[in-house]
Structure 1
Amino acid sequence: MADKATFDDKRLADLDGFTVVIDAVRQRADITLDRPPYNVVSMLARDQLRLVFEALDEDDRVRIIVVTGAGEHFSSGGNIKGFLEATPEHVSKLAWNIAAPARCSKPVIAANRGYCFGVGFELSLACDFRIATDTTRYALPEQKLGQIPGSGGSARLQKMVGVTRTKNIVMRSMRITGKQAYDWGIASDVVADADLETTVDALVEELIAFSPIAQRTAKKLLNDTDDALLTTAIELEGLNYSRLRQSDDFREGVNAFHEKRAAVFVGR
């Protein structure tokens, strides 16, 4: 049964513009940006989102985390006036807070429909999977404010699509469709808007069937070697492969393969 999440941290007693629901049976947590009509992300929400990801990372009931937006849009971005009101110390934490999905050891899926601008796009880029729809529009519009992305957007994009496409998106505040994002390797999949939830549900079920320890290892390895030399990446891959050979899940996987049955992984 799905339950509204409760957290020990007093800073999460009143979530600012988003909700968290844990479905222990389905082993998933849903973080839903919910500030109608465009799900603007406040400065406080950025801090709280980081804390929520850290709490869910430690929650044994949760295997997969889904980030979505209520209504027709994921998020139109951040609270613009909040940037002028925030202290330099607070602003310096923006990228660290929004990178929380990447640091989380569990798979994180972003379900993107409608506007996915500014920090909404940056939060999605920090997730492992981005499911877009035919209504999705991605953009980093900070140039229109006399600014640049400040929460990892240009850096993550350049890794994904190269400097030429990133300059188009950042320096021209260009909006791109879900289909373009998929073609360019930003989105993991693009589906009809009506199929977004069922597609995400299917991906959650697919990921849950794998070994938790193998998934955690794969995510960390891929993140850690994203900017590594090829020789370094291969060395780290081999070390992690060797470590997983000692796991109960690997033994179960091999036995299940030879016995022609579904493996039952336990995460160790």
Structure 2
Amino acid sequence: MAVAYTFADPRLAKLDGFGVEIDEAKQRADIVLNRPPFNIVSMPQRDQLRLVFETLDEDERVRVIVVRAVGEHFSSGGNIKGFMEASPETVSKLAWNIAAPFRASKPVIAANRGFCFGVGFELSLACDFRIVTDTTQYALPEQKLGQIPGSGGSARLQMMVGITRTKDIVMRSKRISAQQALDWGIATEKVADADLEKATDALVDELVAFSPMAQRTAKKLLNDTEDSPLSIAIELEGHCYSRLRQSHDFKEGVEAFHEKRKPEFKGC
């Protein structure tokens, strides 16, 4: 059963535009955007989101983090007025804060329905898995404001879909449908709108069943080698494989395979 998460950090005593829930039995924590109808992300909220991700990443009760939203839309983007009022120091931290899901050692799932624009899209791109529905639309509309994406959106998108498609999205402020996002490899999975919660639950259950150590290693390896030469990526993969070879979880996995039973991973 999910309950409200309690934070020791006084900076998180009052969350701005979102809530956090934890379900210890499912080893799951949910970050829930809650400023309907469009879940606009404020400037202070960005820094709080970073702190929350860092806290959940250190919490041993949590194996998987989910980012979802209340209502019909994930997020239509940031508070436009806030950009004009923010200090240069605050603006310089935009990409670092929104990259928090990428830096987290644990798997992070973005459950996207409806509008997923601007920082909403950038936050989702920093996650490991993106589940979309029939209503999902992705966009980086900053060109309409005389600006460019500032929280890692164009850079992450280019790594995923290449420069031609990224220019089409960024330079034209073009909206991308859920099916196009799936076809281009932006989305992990596409489901009916009514099935988003069920699909998210299923992915959480699947991820929790794996070895936490092997999962953390796989995420870090893939992140670290995304833009590495093949020879370096293979070398790092070999080192990671060798380290896991000595783990309890690998021994347990091999024994469970031969004994035809479900493995009981300890994360060590």
Deviations 1:131-162 (A, max 9, x none): 00000000000000000000000000000000
Q: Secondary structure at the match of 1:261?
A: coil
Kindly, what percent of the aligned residue pairs are identical?
Answer: 76
Which runs of 5 or more structure 1 residues have no equivalent in the other structure? none
1:24-39 to structure 2, matched below 5 A, reads 24-39=24-39
Match of 2:147 in 1: 147
Distance in 2 of aligned mates of 1:178 and 1:241: 35
CA offsets, 1:55-78, max 9 Å, x none?
A: 000111100000011000000000
Give the whole-Å Cα distance in 2 for the aligned partners of 1:122 and 1:219. 19
Q: 2:99 matched to which residue of 1?
A: 99
Q: Give, in angstroms, the shift of residue 255 of structure 1.
A: 0.3
Counterpart of 1:47 in structure 2 is 47
Could you say which residue in structure 2 is the equivalent of 1:22? Answer: 22
1:252-263 correspondence to structure 2 within 5 Å: 252-263=252-263
Tell me the secondary structure at the aligned position of residue 25 of structure 2: coil
Rounded Cα–Cα distance in structure 2 between residues aligned with 1:85 and 1:211: 45
Question: How much does 1:3 deviate?
Answer: 1.4
CA root-mean-square deviation: 0.4
Structure 1, residues 158-196: CA drift from partner, whole Å, max 9, x if none?
Answer: 000000000010000000111100000000011110110
Shift of 1:36: 1.2
Amino acid at match of 2:219: K
For the pair 1:183 / 2:183, whether they are aligned, the reply is yes
Measure the CA separation in 2 of the matches of 1:36 and 1:215.
Answer: 34
2:120 equivalent in structure 1: 120
Equivalent residue number for residue 238 of structure 1? 238
Q: Deviation per CA, 1:206-239, whole angstroms, max 9, x where unpaired?
A: 0000000000000000000001000000000000
Distance (whole Å) between structure 2 residues aligned to residue 48 and residue 125 of structure 1:
18
**TM-score after normalising by structure 1:** 1.00
Q: How big is each residue's C-alpha offset from its partner over 1:222-267, in whole Å with a ceiling of 9 and x where there is no partner? A: 0000010000000000000000000000000000000000000010
Task: Give the aligned partner of residue 81 of structure 1.
Answer: 81
Distance 1:51 1:102 in 2: 13
* 1:88-123 per-position Cα deviation (integer Å, ceiling 9, x unaligned): 011000000000000000000000000000000000
Task: Measure how far apart 1:2 and its partner are.
Answer: 1.6
Give secondary structure in 1 for the equivalent of 2:61.
coil
Aligned match of 2:198: 198
Amino acid at match of 1:106: K
Opposite residue 182 of structure 2, the aligned amino acid is Y
1:224 correspondence with 2:224: yes
Count of residue correspondences: 268
1-structure distance, mates of 2:39, 2:224: 31
> Equivalent residue of 1:132, what SS?
strand
Residue 249 of structure 1: aligned partner = 249
* Letter matched to residue 133 of structure 1: T
Give how far 1:6 is off. Answer: 1.0
Give, as a single letter, the amino acid of the residue that structure 2 aligns with 1:93.
Answer: K
Distance, in Å, in 2 between the alignment partners of 1:163 and 1:186 is: 14
